[in-house]
Structure 1
Amino acid sequence: MVTAGAPCDLSVIVPVYNAAATLERVAGEVLALQADGLRCQVIFVDDASGDGSAGVADALADRHPEVLVLRHEANRGAGVARMTGWPHVTGRYALFFDADDILHGDVLRLTVERMEAHPEVDTAMLAYRYERGGRNTGIEMSYSDTQVYRGLLAAGSPAIGTPGEMGALLMVTNYPWNKVIRVAHFREVGLRFGTTHVNNDIRGHWEMIVKARRIMLSDEVICTHLVDPEGQNITNRFGAERLQMLDALGDLYGLLERDPDLRRREAHRFWGLAHRLYLWARERLEPEVVPRFDAGWAALIGRIDLGDYTELRVRHAPELADALANHLLGPQGS
């Protein structure tokens, strides 16, 4: 047993917004790892919940010295909540988890053991499983994510590679909870999630990959992601708040603009991801939001580096280059 502020092996940071019903389960899943000798810290960051989540978290902290509770006075989004928790991490490894998902503790423990054996690995990325509408659908990952994993794991799982070798991972869904990171390394190089309410995990996802010295990829499932198609969470909202998706993408592109080598290497993946998200969101938007969304998308495309656009057209994805030009100039663009 450790106290929440004492050095430990693993810290799990959990943004909390109206998740009173699941906090005890999540804390229990993490703290159960201590039976195997893994010293753990749980950091709950209450993001101005209105359902009594703060009281549940406080009660857990009273019973378990390993639990730390932080809180926001106003709702600021999961990305900001994660960054609120980050300075309080005392573990050698960290996982950013969600309050309403199911943690596969055996895989988490094994991942920490593997990272201990491979000190050059700063990020371990695992698989996930979906459960939709309260029933297990048997879907382990999205089709596109599965294809990326299979390509990178063709020689076996787990696989270790550089960010350049593992660059295809930048295109998978930007979930935060399928990656375990080495805290000392990311304290040194920096780590930041976005500040938007939607798509705030894009920035953190990319940084955990491009700033790592080595990445370990495994097809073992670390999380069951619970999806409620009728729920009121941000994922299911497509009003004006979805405009923030373009702010999140613009923030990420700023990271590439400040690092020309990274931009030259990965700009084609950024624009592929951005275009995919644009199409996904646009077909779901409330009609009155579409004109502003299209204008924001055109403004983002207007930032593209001409050399990177040429590379996109000539080497990587000419059809995507045409699509970006058409958005900016109309069908006559080239």
Structure 2
Amino acid sequence: MSLTLALPVHNDARNLRRVLAQAHKLGVFDKVVISDDGSDEPVSRTEVCPPDAWPQNCFTILRTETNKGAGHARNRALEHVTTEHVLFFDADDLLTPDLAALIKTLAGRQFDFCLFRHTDSRCIGWGILGQMPLDEAHWRRAKVQVGALSSINPTQAAALAETTNYPWNKIYRTDFLRENNIYCSETMVHNDIELHWMSFHHGRNILVSDRVGALHFVAPSGQRLTNRKGEERFAVFAPLGRIASALDTENASERLREPFLRFTSGLFDWIRGNIAPHLQKRFDAATRDFLLTYVDMARFSQLSQADPVLARHIVLQLERGRI
């Protein structure tokens, strides 16, 4: 199994050095692709890479002169991946020894992608080595929480598709992404939603592992993308629309339609609660337009039978969006 570590970075050489030192120590990555997304000081190998870590032809640094976002940076990195598999990761997160064990277990296995568990700084603060409660609930519902590695069926995949839409908790077969034209949205925020859902949409051979392969850091405040409250939040409707259209036109993803709508409705509430107050009415109107476009009467009738709580919540969102 050959594997590339693909890392977008913007003005974070210190953390990039840290994760590259980890990656070298784990000894499971054949190549590394750094995608420098317009850092003020261009990333250099001598600055961030451990000495003698990877041969020159196995370590690539790409540079975009202007900051275009992590989605663009990941897409550009993917263009330069030559190994059979790829793991997207973030420079400010940490790899774990369990990830190395998982990668060794995957050798010789055929799969489109492998989803693995993660933890984050909030959980660590609570003394928990695991995921946030909602993500753990999705894993329990899928009944895959026991066992280091297993294949999942479409019903289980539909449950796990509702987990938090991160790009770095999956090891992808590179050709799976290319053959199905799966990529990140090139927006400053919400760029990982499309990668996540289109992977579940097209994936036919999905593996899951309960190994905790990553430690994700969540900042409660500051300039991280999670904390942005401005106009850029409206960019979410374009990738959500593309996903909804894909799920509407191909029967193979019928099981994903209700989970996607549940995810979307919850995401709209999260954005509304975090966006600047003066933008809320506009966001409510845009939410209403999206729901009216992608939830017709036939689908709403089905939803009312399958999940009446979600159906009622969508009605409230539609009413809130009236001008």
Give the Cα–Cα distance (whole angstroms) in 2 for the partners of residues 240 and 186 of structure 1: 30
Cα–Cα, structure 1 residues 125 and 26, in superposed 2: closer, same or farther, change >3 Å? same
Partner residue of 1:152 out of 121, 125, 142 = 142
Displacement of 1:252 in angstroms is 2.2
Which ranges in structure 1 are unaligned for 5 or more consecutive residues? 1-7
Residue 71 of structure 1 and its aligned partner are, at CA, apart by: 1.5
- The answer for the alignment partner of 2:17 in structure 1 is 24
Contact 1:125 1:178 in 2 (8 A): yes
Describe the SS at the equivalent of 2:66: coil
* Structure 2 CA distance for aligned equivalents of residues 301 and 21 of structure 1: 43
1:278 aligns to what?
268
Q: Within 2, Cα distance between the matches of 1:41 and 1:155?
A: 31
In structure 2, give the amino acid aligned to 1:321. A
Quote the residue 1:302 is aligned against: 292
- The code of the aligned residue for 1:130 comes to D
Q: In structure 2, how many angstroms separate the alpha carbons of the residues matched to 1:237 and 1:57? A: 31
> Over aligned residues, Cα RMSD in angstroms?
2.5
Q: What are the superposed Cα offsets for residues 232-282 of structure 1, whole Å, 9 maximum, x if unpaired?
A: 1110111222222233322322322342442x3221111100111111121
Q: Secondary structure at the match of 2:84?
A: strand
TM-score in terms of structure 1 length: 0.86
Say if 1:31 and 1:40, in contact at 8 Å, map to a contact too: no
- Structure 1 range deviating more: 78-87 or 158-167: 158-167
Change (3 A) 1:90 1:137: farther
3-state SS in 2 of match to 1:109: helix
**Counterpart of 1:67?**
59
Distance 2:280 2:213 in 1: 37
Change (3 A) 1:62 1:141: closer
Q: Distance in 2 between matches of 1:270 and 1:290?
A: 23
Choose the corresponding residue for 1:290, options 266, 274, 280: 280
Say which SS state the counterpart of residue 205 (structure 1) adopts.
helix
Of 240-249 and 165-174, the range deviating more from structure 2 = 240-249
State the distance in 2 between where 1:149 and 1:266 align.
16
Unaligned runs of 5+ in 2: none
1:132: how far off?
A: 4.5
Mark the CA change 1:39 to 1:222 in structure 2 (over 3 Å): closer, same or farther: closer
The equivalent residue for 1:217 is 208
The 1:313/1:109 distance shift into structure 2, 3 A limit, reads same
Q: CA deviation at 1:57?
A: 4.5
Match of 1:13 in 2: 6
Q: Distance in 1 between matches of 2:249 and 2:47?
A: 44
The AA in structure 2 aligned to 1:32 is K
Which position in structure 2 is the counterpart of 1:204? 195
Q: 1:141 to 1:156 in 2, by over 3 A?
A: closer
Check whether the contact 1:153–1:159 (CA below 8 A) recurs between aligned residues.
no
Report the alpha carbon displacement of residue 33 of structure 1 after superposing the two structures with TM: 3.2
Residue 176 of structure 1 and its aligned partner are, at CA, apart by 1.0
Q: Is the 8 A contact 1:202 1:252 kept in 2?
A: no
Question: Who is 2:43 aligned against?
Answer: 55
- Percent identity for Structure 1 against Structure 2: 30
Change (3 A) 1:61 1:188: same
What TM-score do you get using the length of structure 2 for normalisation? 0.89
What is the correspondence of 1:1-334 to structure 2 with a 5 Å cutoff?
Answer: 9-34=2-27, 38-50=28-40, 52=41, 54-57=42-45, 59-60=47-48, 64=54, 65=56, 66-104=58-96, 106-119=97-110, 121-132=111-122, 136-139=125-128, 140-153=130-143, 156-157=146-147, 158-262=149-253, 264-306=254-296, 307-314=298-305, 316-329=306-319
Q: Given that residues 89 and 167 in structure 2 are in contact (C-alpha distance below 8 angstroms), is that contact kept between their aligned partners in structure 1?
A: yes
CA distance in 2, matches of 1:283, 1:61: 40
Alignment partner of 1:55: what SS?
A: coil
**Does the CA contact (< 8 Å) of 1:26 and 1:102 recur in 2?**
yes
